Amino acid sequence: MTAISPPSERLWWKHPLDRVEGIWLAIAFVWCMVMFFMMVYWHMYGSQNLSTETYKTTPEAFAAKAQAMVDQYTVRSEVDGQYPVVAPPADSDIYMIARLWNFWPILQLEKGRTYRLHLTSMDYNHGFSLQPANINIQIVPGYEHVVTVTPNQSGTYSVVCNEYCGIGHHTMVGRIYVK
């Protein structure tokens, strides 16, 4: 009779539904459908959807493409020359390497312009956590993820690694300038 003894009706699926339960079931169902359609709606009308464009890659292939961008568009360097600051043109393909334990190079973008940002890892999983905007994307080795980004505010942004990647994890921070 109670929940810890067998039900008094053998055929429990014929047990009646209480009105409170029926109404709640209907409300909850509608809410679940609203949440489902929100995701689809945002794909059609929202402007923050994570791209799914992904290619298999290798550290060598990706590093070569990033190096080509750096060679062409470097405007200056920071931290004693360790980090080139690269200002590629709008609408171009831009590259950021995640590796133990830095993001390389520093990118300089223009507000309101669009870029195809390529992300991959040279070694372990890393996390792309853009701060203070707070956009968080997983970086998985072997996969080149192409995310189309349109910065909407100028300023200095940091890229914090937020996937645990070993003892130097807490030192892994990169930078993006938006002019």
* Candidate segments 41-49, 64-72, 90-98, binder of another protein by CB under 8 A: 41-49
123 binds, among another protein, Cu ion, none (CB under 5 to 8 A by kind): another protein
Q: Judged by CB under 8 A, which of 1, 44, 60, 81 binds another protein? A: 1
Query: Which CB sits closer to Cu ion, 115 or 163?
Result: 163
Long-range CB contacts for residues 51-58, cutoff 8 Å, separation at least 24: 51/145, 51/146, 51/147, 51/148, 53/145, 53/146, 53/147, 54/143, 54/144, 54/145, 54/146, 55/143, 55/144, 55/146, 56/142, 56/143, 56/144, 57/120, 57/142, 57/143, 57/144, 58/142
When asked if residue 170 is in the footprint of another protein (CB under 8 A), the reply is yes
The contact set with Cu ion (CB under 5 A) reads 126, 161, 165, 169, 172
Residues in the interface with another protein (CB under 8 A) total 96
Binding of another protein by 44 (CB under 8 A): no
Q: Euclidean distance between the first and final Cα of the chain, in Å?
A: 70
Shortest CB 157 distance to another protein, Å: 9
Interface pick for another protein out of 67, 110, 162, 177 (rule CB under 8 A)? 162
